[in-house]
Structure 1
Amino acid sequence: MAVFAVLMLLMFFGSVLSSDESITVACSTNDIDCLSKSTEKFLEKTHKGIPAWNIVTLDPLVISSYDFALDEEGLIYKYKNLTVTGLRNQQISDFKMDTKARSVVLTTKADLDVVTDVDVILTKPSKTLSGHYKIHASVLGTATYQYELKTDEKGVTHFHVGPETITCKVVDAPRVELSHEFQQTLSNDADAKTYNEEKRAELRKKTFCKIAEKVYTYVVHNIREAAKAVPSSAFFTNIE
């Protein structure tokens, strides 16, 4: 039985590794139509994850915990069981690759749905408002990173993707659906009532972008890990 399990494992890894180039379409760095098709194929082939390559499941993406502060607002957000769907269908909005500077600026648009539990900590006065909610918005996520080209011991050239910087822009006003209990909590809290609808809309955009920026780090992670496994020629036709 153990031998059978090992054989099945080897067959799985072999099937993944033998089809490495099929996860992308090789494109010119200036061919946005081809790059769009390549992105679509890459997401289709990888969004469920490829453990052999350390590529994580992207859609749905589950983040057990994520905290950040909006210092200027006196607010701290602590998210738990944050689940994001929609990354599988992201589309390239802009792509710039400087082969001399060896830098990339990649912008994609994604319609994201987020379901999460959250603790909202008001630092002045010190209190925590907790609840469950859903939020949807379209975002433009931009990843900027440097890269190197390295040849391995087999003579195959790969991209090595450096640390990324992520920025976000919300395309439209996020739509929020609060659980009944969370709605009651906010409605009954004197400090929460001080935020008018305009301010709440602003906070929704800020918090959604914070979530999107976190989410896009996993997108770049998958690009980075795929680049280690797949030859550079499987991504681009005009890179040396």
Structure 2
Amino acid sequence: MAVFAVLMLLMFFGSVLSTDESIAVPCSINDIDCLGKSLEKFLEKTHKGIPAWNIVAIDPLVIPSFDVVFDNEGLIFKYKNLTVTGLRNQQLTGFKMDTNAKAVVLTTKADLDIVTDIDVIFSKSSKTLSGHYKSHASVLGTATYKYDLKTDEKGVTHFQVGPETITCKVVDAPRVELNPEFQQTLSNDADAKAFSQEKKHELREKAFCKITEKAYTYVVHNIREAAKAIPSTAFFTNIE
């Protein structure tokens, strides 16, 4: 049993070290092509999660519940069992790193699919309409965060990633599919019919972006946790 335990520990640490070595491509902060390849590799290696590093699975990403509130319209979209796919295939479209301010602005493009149960709550009439919802859209997600560099007790320097701010822009209008019963319910409901088609498109776009912003927080979480686990030189070649 003791030999078996030792072998299991060696296998575990060996897998962590191999992940460490290949989780990203070290790049100059100004080499956008290299950075794009590094992001691609990072997402490939981490999208299923790495529990030993507290890196969570992001594709598919399952969010048990999430609310989007539209105060001006008196609406709440309450999502349940929300599943997002497509984060694995993000493409880098912009990267700025200010080494003086120690600030990063990271923008990626993603084609995201959302599948969820939804309660549409009309606040004024206290009415809830429920159904199943699918949506697809291309989005640009931008994460802005500060960082610091910390040297651990072994003399290894790591990035320390601060709190993030996420913004989203929908590239094209979300394609939405509702289950037939839900579609029929909305078509016959007086409160739902009071919204113009233009307003409905606006609400769908805003809701998709809110979900995207929530999803991107998990992406930044994984960057933050990876930065704790591996040296700063695994990400960048010209950071001091």
| Fold-level similarity (TM above 0.5) | yes
The residue that corresponds to 1:84 in the other structure is 84
Q: Distance in 1 between matches of 2:45 and 2:197?
A: 42
Aligned pairs for 1:28-47 (under 5 A) are 28-47=28-47
CA RMSD of aligned residues (A): 1.5
The residue that corresponds to 1:107 in the other structure is 107
Q: Distance in 1 between matches of 2:205 and 2:3?
A: 54
Shift of residue 235, structure 1, vs aligned partner? 0.3
Secondary structure at the counterpart of residue 137 of structure 1? strand
Q: Distance in 2 between matches of 1:127 and 1:59?
A: 34
The residue that corresponds to 2:196 in the other structure is 196
Percent identity reads 82
Secondary structure at the counterpart of residue 211 of structure 1? helix
Letter in structure 2 aligned against 1:165: T
The CA deviation string for residues 117-176 of structure 1, in whole angstroms up to 9 with x for no partner, is 011111122211111010000000000000010000110000000000000000000000
Letter in structure 2 aligned against 1:159: F
Q: Distance in 1 between matches of 2:119 and 2:164?
A: 28
Shift of residue 199, structure 1, vs aligned partner? 1.0
Q: Distance in 1 between matches of 2:68 and 2:200?
A: 17
The residue that corresponds to 2:182 in the other structure is 182
Q: Which moved more, 1:46-55 or 1:72-81?
A: 72-81
Shift of residue 183, structure 1, vs aligned partner? 0.6
Q: Distance in 1 between matches of 2:176 and 2:210?
A: 16
* TM score, norm. by length of structure 1: 0.96
Shift of residue 70, structure 1, vs aligned partner? 1.4
Secondary structure at the counterpart of residue 101 of structure 2? coil
The residue that corresponds to 1:229 in the other structure is 229
Contact 2:118 2:131 in 1 (8 A): yes
Q: Verify: 1:27 aligned to 2:40, yes or no.
A: no
The residue that corresponds to 1:144 in the other structure is 144
Which runs of no fewer than 5 residues in structure 2 stay unpaired? none
The residue that corresponds to 1:12 in the other structure is 12
* TM score, norm. by length of structure 2: 0.96
Letter in structure 1 aligned against 2:193: K
Q: Distance in 1 between matches of 2:63 and 2:183?
A: 24
Secondary structure at the counterpart of residue 19 of structure 1? helix
Q: Distance in 2 between matches of 1:122 and 1:54?
A: 39
Shift of residue 75, structure 1, vs aligned partner? 1.0
Letter in structure 2 aligned against 1:122: F
Shift of residue 4, structure 1, vs aligned partner? 4.0
Q: Distance in 1 between matches of 2:80 and 2:29?
A: 39
Secondary structure at the counterpart of residue 78 of structure 1? strand
Secondary structure at the counterpart of residue 28 of structure 1? coil
Contact 1:151 1:157 in 2 (8 A): yes
Shift of residue 8, structure 1, vs aligned partner? 3.0
Letter in structure 1 aligned against 2:225: E
Shift of residue 77, structure 1, vs aligned partner? 1.6
Q: Distance in 1 between matches of 2:5 and 2:197?
A: 58
The residue that corresponds to 1:118 in the other structure is 118
Q: Structure 1 residues 119 and 30, CA, compared in 2 at 3 Å: closer, same or farther?
A: same
Letter in structure 2 aligned against 1:55: I
Contact 2:110 2:140 in 1 (8 A): yes
Contact 1:139 1:171 in 2 (8 A): yes
Contact 1:13 1:52 in 2 (8 A): no
